[in-house]
C-alpha cells in the first residue's frame, strides 16, 4: 500500500483486498479452530463424548449472543472509523475507537453477571435435558467468566485490520488459538476436568488475545490509537446504528439456534439429543465453510469504506465486483465439499457412527443452496461498508427472523417432521440472499459503476 499506512485509495483494488483478506482468512481459520478444538476434544471423550457435545450445542445460542455484542462495536465502529480516515479526519476516528472500547467494557460486565446468574434456567429452556444439562452448565458457567476478554479480542481486533495491519490482527487470533490447542488436552484429559477444562482453556486463551489487542492499539504504530476511556454518546449512537446489523446477524443466529434446538427436541422423538448434536456439528461445518468468503468480504469492506469516504466511487464498484465473483467461486467449491465429502468433515469431530450418519444426511439439506450465500454476504457487507444501516438491518432480519425462524416452526407439522428444521435454512438461503443482493444492486452498485455518488443514507457523525 502506498502513502500512509492503511491508505486504500492507491493501488489495484483486488490486490488490496487480497492483501487484507488473506491474513484475515488465516486468522478466521485459527479462530474457527479456537471454537472447534473444544468440540473435537469433547466429542472424543469416550462414552460421555456425545452427551457432552450435545451439552455444548445447548450453549451455542448464548455463546453466539456474547459474540453479537462484539459485532455491535466491530461492525459499526471499525467501519465508521475507516470512513472517517478516508475523509482525513483521524481525530474523529480515534474518538470512535475509544467510545466503542468503553461501551464493550460496560456491556461485558453486565453480560457476565446476568448470564452467570440465569444459566441454569436459560440452558434448560434452550434444549438441555437431564443428560446434557450438567455438561452445558459445567462449560458455560466457566466460559461466561471470560466474557470481557472475548468481547475485547473479537470486537477490537477489527480496528487493527481496518487500519491496514491484518497480520497483527492475525496474530491476535493465532496467539489465542495456539494456547487453546495446547491447554485443551492438558485440562480435559491430563487434569481430568472434562468440559470444564475446555471452558477454562478457552477463557485463558481469549484473555491472552485480548492483552495482545490492547497492547497494540495503545502503542505507537497504529494511525488511530486507544488513548483513554470515553463514552461520546452522539458517536455511540452512530456506531450502534450501523453496528446493529452485525449485532442483529449474531443475535438472530442465537435466536434461530434456540428455536432450532427446541424444535429438534420436540420433533426428534427418542433421537432428539442426537439431532441437537448433529446440528452442533453442522454449525461447526458452517464455520469452516464460511472462512474464505469471510476473509474476502472483510478485506473488501475496509477497502470500500475508505474509498467511499475518499469519494473514489469507481474503486468502490470494483471492490463489490471482486467480492461477488470471489464469493461465488469460493462458496461453490465449499458446496461441492458439503454435498460429496460431508463424512470427512463430520468425522473430525466425532467417532460416533450414528451421529456421523445423521449429520451427513442433514448437512446435505442444510447446505443445499450454499452458493447463494455469496449474494447475501456481498450485499450485506456493501450496505455496512457504505453506512446504509437500515438496509443492512433489514436483510439481517429478513433471512433469519422473517424466513428461518417461522419456517423452522411451520415446516415440521406440514409433513417434513424434524427434517423441516434443516429445510428452513435451505429455503432462506435462496430467497433471503437473492433479495439482499438485488436490492443492493438497484440502490447502490449500478450508480457506483457510473462513478456517481449514492444518496446519503444517514446524517454525518456529530
Flag whether 2 is in a domain: no
Name the CA dihedral angle for 259, 113, 176, 211, rounded to a multiple of 10 degrees: 140
Per residue in 407-458, pLDDT (tens digit) is 999 999 998 999 999 999 999 999 999 999 999 999 898 888 877 777 665 4
Report yes or no on 459 lying in a domain.
no
| Residue 453 located in a structural domain | no
Q: What is the dihedral of CA 276, 36, 297, 65, to 10 degrees?
A: 60
Number of domains the chain is built from: 1
Q: Is the Cβ–Cβ distance between 114 and 136 less than 8 Å?
A: no
C-alpha cell at 1: 500500500
- Confirm if 130 and 258 have CB atoms less than 8 A apart: no
**pLDDT at position 378:** 93
In a domain, residue 460? The reply is no
- Residue pair 369/430 in contact by the 8 Å Cβ criterion: yes
Q: How far apart are CA 96 and CA 232, in angstroms?
A: 8
Domain span at residue 55 reads 13-448
Residue 21: predicted pLDDT: 75
Predicted pLDDT of residue 6: 61
161 lies in some domain: yes
Residues 6+ apart with CB under 8 A from 342: 285, 359, 360, 363, 364
pLDDT by residue, tens only, the chain of 462 residues: 444 556 677 888 888 888 877 776 766 666 566 566 666 677 666 666 667 777 777 777 788 778 878 877 877 888 888 888 888 888 898 999 999 999 999 999 999 999 999 888 888 877 776 777 888 888 888 988 889 998 998 888 888 888 888 788 888 878 888 888 888 888 888 787 878 888 898 889 889 989 999 999 998 888 888 888 888 888 888 888 877 776 777 777 768 877 888 899 889 888 888 898 888 889 888 878 887 888 788 788 888 988 888 888 889 999 999 999 999 999 999 999 999 988 887 877 777 888 889 999 999 999 999 999 999 999 988 988 888 878 888 887 888 888 998 999 999 999 899 999 999 999 999 999 999 999 999 989 888 887 777 766 544 434
pLDDT of residue 364: 94
Kindly tell me the sign of the dihedral angle through the C-alpha atoms of 360, 363, 369, 374. negative
Residue 351 CB neighbour total at 10 angstroms: 12
pTM (two decimals): 0.68
DSSP string, 303-328: HHHHHHHTT-HHHHHHHHHHHHHHHH
Asked if the structure places residue 4 within a domain, the reply is no
3-state secondary structure of 162: coil
Domain membership flag for residue 3: no
pLDDT at 2: 42
Backbone angles phi, psi at 126, to 5 degrees: -80, 5
Does the residue 5 lie in any domain?
Answer: no
Q: Considering Cα of 122, then 126, then 130, then 132, what sign does the dihedral take?
A: negative
The pLDDT assigned to 323 comes to: 92
Amino acid at each position: 500500500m502506498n502513502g500512509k499506512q492503511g491508505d486504500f485509495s492507491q493501488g489495484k483494488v483486488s490486490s488490496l483486498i487480497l492483501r487484507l483478506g488473506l491474513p484475515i482468512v488465516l486468522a478466521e481459520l485459527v479462530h474457527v479452530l479456537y471454537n472447534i478444538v473444544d468440540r473435537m476434544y469433547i466429542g472424543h471423550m469416550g462414552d460421555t463424548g456425545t452427551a457432552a457435545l450435545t451439552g455444548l450445542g445447548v450453549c451455542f445460542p448464548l455463546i453466539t449472543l456474547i459474540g453479537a455484542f462484539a459485532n455491535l462495536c466491530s461492525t459499526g465502529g471499525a467501519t465508521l472509523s475507516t470512513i472517517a480516515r478516508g475523509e482525513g479526519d483521524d481525530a474523529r476516528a480515534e474518538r470512535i475507537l475509544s467510545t466503542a472500547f468503553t461501551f464493550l467494557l460496560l456491556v461485558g460486565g453486565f453480560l457476565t453477571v446476568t448470564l452467570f446468574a440465569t444459566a441454569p434456567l436459560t440452558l434448560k429452556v434452550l434444549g438441555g435435558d437431564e443428560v446434557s444439562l450438567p455438561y452445558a452448565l459445567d462449560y458455560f458457567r466457566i466460559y461466561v467468566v471470560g466474557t470481557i476478554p472475548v468481547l475485547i479480542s473479537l470486537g477490537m481486533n477489527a480496528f487493527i485490520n481496518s487500519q491496514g495491519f491484518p497480520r497483527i490482527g492475525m496474530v491476535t487470533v493465532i496467539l489465542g488459538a495456539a494456547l487453546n490447542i495446547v491447554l485443551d488436552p492438558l485440562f480435559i484429559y491430563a487434569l481430568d476436568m472434562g468440559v470444564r477444562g475446555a471452558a477454562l482453556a478457552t477463557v485463558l486463551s481469549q484473555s491472552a488475545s485480548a492483552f495482545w489487542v490492547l497492547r497494540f492499539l495503545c502503542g505507537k504504530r497504529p494511525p488511530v490509537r486507544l488513548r483513554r476511556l470515553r463514552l461520546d454518546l452522539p458517536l455511540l449512537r452512530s456506531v450502534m446504528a450501523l453496528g446493529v446489523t452485525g449485532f442483529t446477524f449474531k443475535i438472530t443466529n442465537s435466536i434461530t439456534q434456540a428455536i432450532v434446538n427446541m424444535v429438534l427436541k420436540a420433533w426428534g422423538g427418542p433421537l432428539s439429543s442426537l439431532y441437537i448434536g448433529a446440528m452442533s456439528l453442522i454449525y461447526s461445518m458452517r464455520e469452516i465453510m464460511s472462512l474464505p468468503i469471510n476473509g474476502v468480504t472483510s478485506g473488501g469492506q475496509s477497502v470500500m469504506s475508505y474509498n467511499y469516504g475518499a469519494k473514489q466511487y469507481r474503486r468502490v464498484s470494483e471492490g463489490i465486483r471482486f467480492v461477488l465473483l470471489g464469493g461465488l467461486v469460493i462458496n461453490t467449491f465449499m458446496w461441492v465439499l458439503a454435498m460429496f465429502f460431508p463424512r470427512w468433515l463430520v468425522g473430525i469431530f466425532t467417532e460416533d457412527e450414528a451421529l456421523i450418519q445423521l449429520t451427513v444426511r442433514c448437512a446435505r439439506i442444510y447446505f443445499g443452496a450454499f452458493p447463494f450465500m455469496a449474494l447475501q454476504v456481498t450485499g450485506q457487507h456493501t450496505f455496512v461498508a457504505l453506512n446504509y444501516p437500515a438496509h443492512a438491518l433489514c436483510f439481517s432480519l429478513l433471512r433469519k427472523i422473517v424466513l428461518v425462524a417461522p419456517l423452522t416452526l411451520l415446516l415440521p407439522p406440514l409433513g417434513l417432521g424434524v427434517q423441516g428444521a434443516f429445510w428452513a435454512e435451505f429455503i432462506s438461503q435462496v430467497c433471503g440472499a437473492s433479495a439482499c443482493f438485488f436490492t443492493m444492486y438497484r440502490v447502490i452498485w449500478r450508480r457506483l459503476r457510473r462513478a456517481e455518488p449514492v444518496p446519503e443514507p444517514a446524517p454525518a457523525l456529530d
